[in-house]
Chains A and B, each alone.
Chain A
Amino acid sequence: MSNLLLIAYLDLKESIRAKWFLVYSLVFGGMIALFFIAGVTESQVMGFSGLSRLLLMYIQVTIVILPIFILITTVRSISGDRDNHILEYMLSFPISLKQYYWGKIIGRFITVYLPVLFAMIIAIVYGFSKGAAIPWDIFFLYTGLLFALSSAFLGIAFFISSFVKSSEVALGIAFFIWIALLAFIDIALISLMMQQRMNEELIIFLAMINPMEIFRVAAISLFDPELTVMGPVAFYILDSMSQGVFVLVSIAYPVLLGMLFAFFGFVIFKKKDLV
Chain B
Amino acid sequence: MIKTTGLTKKFGKHVSLDNVNIEFKKNESIALMGANGAGKTTLVRSLLGYYHPDAGEVLINGLNPVKERVKVLENISFVPQLPPPIKLSISELMQYVSVSAHIDRELITHYANEMKLDIKANLNKSFFKLSGGMKQKLLIAISLAKKSDIIIYDEPTANLDPKARDDFYRLLKQNEDEKVLLFVTHRLEEVKDLVNRQVYMDLGKVVSDERVGAHHE
Using CB atoms and an 8 Å cutoff, list the residues of chain A in contact with chain B. Answer: 1, 3, 6, 10, 13-14, 17-18, 84-86, 88-97, 271-275
Contacts and interface: CB of A to CB of B under 8 A. Distances in A.
Given A90-B84, A272-B52, 11 more contacts: A3-B100, A6-B95, A6-B99, A6-B100, A17-B87, A84-B85, A85-B80, A89-B139, A92-B76, A94-B71, A95-B73
Nearest to A91: B50
A10 B94 CA distance: 11
A96 B99 contact: no
B111 interface: no
Nearest to B72: A94
B24 interface: no
10 contacts: A6-B99, A84-B84, A88-B45, A88-B84, A92-B77, A94-B101, A95-B100, A96-B69, A274-B49, A275-B45
Majority SS at the chain B contact face: mixed
B82 interface: yes
B84 A93 contact: no
Given A3-B99, A271-B52, A274-B50, A89 B45 contact: no
Contacts of B207: none
B125 to A, nearest CB: 12
Contact of A85 (B76, B82, B101, B139): B82
B96 A6 contact: yes
Interface string B132-174: 0000000100000000000000000000000000000000000
Nearest to A85: B84
A78 to B, nearest CB: 14
Contacts of A97: 69
A1 B78 contact: no
Contacts of A92: 48, 73, 76-78
A239 B45 CA distance: 57
